[in-house]
Amino acid sequence: MQQPYEQIFASPLVVVGLIISDLEAGPTVPCLPNSDCPMQLRRLKIRVENGLRGHLENGTVSVYYFKFAGTFSSPGPLGRWDGVSRRIFWLRQDSGVLRLACDGHNYCAMPVRSGTHPHYRPDPRKPLGYAMADIWFTRGEGTTDQEFAKGVNWGAPSTVPEAYLFEKLQRLAATEAAVVRAAACKQLSYYRQECVAPTRVR
């Protein structure tokens, strides 16, 4: 039997998208299976920027999810976006509409602070974790040093292969601005990895 995390990360659609709006879409319900109560149905409008798994055309789509309607104890509830509108979303089809693969907690809507990557295409021969690392740890367009560093500090889930994560972090340590290099070296230290010397200073 699949556990909740496995169900989320097995989602057939994974995209990088920008939240355009987040609006109430239905009444509060007393409870959902395997969730805290009560819950409020919401509708996101997301501008899809990159497809990482499955096929979903770039453009604006509506995506539904349930958020906590009352008090909550989650450190990262869905609907509290903390100023980070660009995210990696895990999606699924449900009764003819797109749904987030999680409700209540934001396990399926991970922040992206590295900017846009308009020309990025994942390698279909590789697991999803490689594409996630490419998005998070490659500087895109429209981000600042400080914002990019925050994203690097956020780290990566265990679905990103460690060897590839180290490769990406070492490249940032060697080539990026001081604040980004510091964040990359901090992440490497968690794995007891040495930080390479910079090859150039930005």
Residue 98 belongs to a domain with what CATH number?
Answer: 2.40.50
Residue 124 sits in the same domain as residue 59: no
Q: What's the whole-number mean pLDDT along residues 113-127?
A: 96
Give the model confidence (pLDDT) of 166-197 as tens digits: 999 999 999 999 999 999 999 999 999 999 88
The pTM assigned to this predicted structure is: 0.90
Instruction: Give the structural domain span for 50.
Output: 1-112
In this prediction, residue 103 carries a pLDDT of: 85
Give the model confidence (pLDDT) of 45-70 as tens digits: 999 999 999 988 889 999 999 888 86
Q: What's the whole-number mean pLDDT along residues 21-28?
A: 88
Residue 133 sits in the same domain as residue 92: no
Q: What DSSP string describes the chain?
A: ---HHHHHHT-SEEEEEEEEEEEEEEEEES--TTS-S-EEEEEEEEEEEEEEES---SEEEEEEEEEESS----SSBTT--TT--EEEEEEEEETTEEEES-SSBGGGEEE--S-B-TT----TTS-HHHHHHHHHTS--BS--HHHHHHHHHH---TTS-HHHHHHHHHHHHHHS-HHHHHHHHHHHHHTTPPPPPPSS--
Which of 3-12, 43-52, 125-134, 154-163 is predicted least confidently? Answer: 3-12
From 58, 92, 112, the end of a domain falls on: 112
Q: Quote the number of domains for the chain.
A: 2
Q: What's the whole-number mean pLDDT along residues 64-91?
A: 84
From 60, 87, 112, the end of a domain falls on: 112
